Amino acid sequence: MNASISIGLGHHVHVQLTRGVLLHINPISTPPNSQSKFPFLFSLSSLSSLSTTTTQLRAVRGRRVAASMSYDKQLAAAKKAASLAARLCQKVQKALLQSDVQSKSDKSPVTVADYGSQALISFILEKEFPSVPFSLVAEEDSGDLCKEESRETLHRITELVNETLATDGMNDISPLSEEDVLKAIDNGKSEGGPHGQHWVLDPIDGTKGFLRGDQYAIALALLDEGKVVLGVLACPNLPLASIARGGQSISGDGVGCLFFAQVEAGTYMQSLDGSTPTKVHVTAIENPEEASFFESYEAAHSSHDLSGLIARKLGVKAPPVRIDSQAKYGALSRGDGAIYMRFPRKGYREKIWDHAAGYIVVAEAGGVATDAAGNPLDFSKGRYLDLDTGIIVTNQKLMPSLLKAVQESIKEKASSL
Ligand SMILES: Nc1ncnc2c1ncn2[C@@H]1O[C@H](COP(=O)(O)O)[C@@H](O)[C@H]1OP(=O)(O)O
Ligand SMILES: [Mg+2]
Ligand SMILES: [Mg+2]
Ligand SMILES: [Mg+2]
């Protein structure tokens, strides 16, 4: 693992990793090919005692040292895992049979594809990083699958996972048993939190869209010391071209996007078939009247009344673009629309896997996501995001006016009740 640090030329600096490991860095000893230029790279893996992954480096003399870690390996693994899962999901969506739909105790639909996607991604990530303790915070668990009546479903999921692994030429992997699949799914029970690294996964975000044949996303992110450091959004039904005017028709060609972002490295999009990635940016629109906004397709997931009131206050002219899942964050990151608003019913607790990947995809594309009170989203508190009222996302320029309109509208709505 490499850490890149910037320090003044010619200084001998003691750097203390926040977990208490002291590292003496002598710039004179940097490799000759570095030409003693800063920032330079030093290898943490050469120090066997360093199992820490912290990105926060502190100079002992009290001087802060800018530091950033590279998560290239994790990003490559995440892209591969999410792309394979997307293939599995597309296969199921195409052949969606009534028997693929079950009812979880919370009555949300869950399909063999949700379980299959989670099993596949969990299995691949654990295999890719065998020396690191594996921690995954994911939506599904095997509770319902272990019941007698689910034997057939478990069999089908296992088949799907094995078929998908085989089509990718991962022939070195022996087929997973049903027990392996259950174990991979249940590896997603981690509580996350502010320390160490945790993968965060929604194996199918927007299950309702998936079942309708509309938008859905496979959303995978990595937390390091409580911060989202990378995110991947596979959106198999999202057109590669802009959906600015609500055009979300699934024509078959030019469809299927993979968004990915790494902290301080920007956001990119490529086709799920593997085209060259292109860098994406949120819109530069400053005038709210020119802005268009995204919201949930499902009125039960987000108050369309409240977002409508806010849009009117802002002078937004375009009708809302309603699509399912974190595909909204992806579309926003490439400027298809300017605003995303989400106001779930009172008492609904947002989960980190519903926003972590989307959040960094938008943030690295130059956008901002906060709760409805303007607080930053905190992914370090466990499986839930504890936040005020809702989530709003836009570019830096529009955020102050959006926040003002949100606050006023919430007050108005409350006083009219
Ligand atoms: N009552 C609810 N309110 C808000 N969001 C919900 C609710 N029930 C499920 N969700 C989650 O909201 C997200 C979809 O929202 P959207 O309407 O933006 O597509 C999904 O993550 C979905 O979970 P799931 O991952 O099971 O689909
Ligand atoms: Mg669900
Ligand atoms: Mg979800
Ligand atoms: Mg889901």
Report pLDDT digits (tens) over 351-378.
999 999 999 999 999 999 999 999 999 9
Question: Which residues are identified as catalytic?
Answer: 114, 207
The Å distance, Cα 354 to ligand 4 centre, comes to 8
- 324 Cβ closer than 6 Å to some ligand 1 atom: yes
217-272 pLDDT, tens per residue? 999 999 999 999 999 999 999 999 999 876 555 555 599 999 999 999 999 999 99
- Answer whether residue 56 shows pLDDT above 80: no
Q: Nearest C-alpha to atom 2 of ligand 1 is from which residue?
A: 301
What global pTM score does this model have?
Answer: 0.85
- Decide which of 3.40.50.150, 3.40.190.80, 1.20.1440.60, 1.10.3720.10 is the CATH code for 288-415: 3.40.190.80
Residue 417: the pLDDT is 74
State the CATH architecture for 72-279: 2-Layer Sandwich (3.30)
- 299 Cβ closer than 6 Å to some ligand 1 atom: no
Three-class secondary structure assignment of the chain = CEEEEECCCCCCEEEEECCCCEEEECHHHCCHHHCCCCCEEEECCCCCCCCCCCCCEEECCCCECEEEECCHHHHHHHHHHHHHHHHHHHHHHHCCCHHHEEECCCCCEEEHHHHHHHHHHHHHHHHHCCCCCCCEEECCCCCHHHCHHHHHHHHHHHHHHHHHHHHCCCCCCCCCCHHHHHHHHHCCECCCCCCCEEEEEEEEECHHHHHHCCCCEEEEEEEECCEEEEEEEEEEEEECCCCCCCCCCCCCCCEEEEEEEECCCCEEEEECCCCCCEEECCCCCCCHHHCCEEECCCCCCCCHHHHHHHHHHHCCCCCCEECCCCHHHHHHHCCCCCEEEECCCCCCCEEHHHCHHHHHHHHCCCEEEEECCCCECCCCCCCEECCCCCEEEEECCCHHHHHHHHHHHHHHHHHCC
Residue 388: the pLDDT is 81
ipTM higher than 0.90?
A: yes
User: In testing the pocket of ligand 1, which one of 298, 332, 385, 393 has its CB within 8 Å of the most ligand atoms?
Assistant: 298
Average pLDDT in the 194-218 region?
95
The Å distance, Cα 26 to ligand 3 centre, comes to 47
Mean pLDDT highest for which of 38-52, 63-77, 167-181?
Answer: 167-181
Mean pLDDT of the chain: 84
- 295 Cβ closer than 6 Å to some ligand 1 atom: no
Domain spans, the chain: 2-69, 72-279, 288-415
The Å distance, Cα 231 to ligand 1 centre, comes to 19
Ligand nearest to the CA of residue 117, numbered in listed order: 4
Residue 24: the pLDDT is 41
- 378 Cβ closer than 6 Å to some ligand 1 atom: no
Q: Which is more confidently placed, 13 or 325?
A: 325
Residue 166: the pLDDT is 93
Ligand 1 atom with minimal separation from the 295 CA: 18
Residue 8: the pLDDT is 37
The Å distance, Cα 307 to ligand 4 centre, comes to 23
- Answer whether residue 147 shows pLDDT above 60: yes
- 384 Cβ closer than 6 Å to some ligand 1 atom: no
Residue 28: the pLDDT is 33
Residue 171: the pLDDT is 67
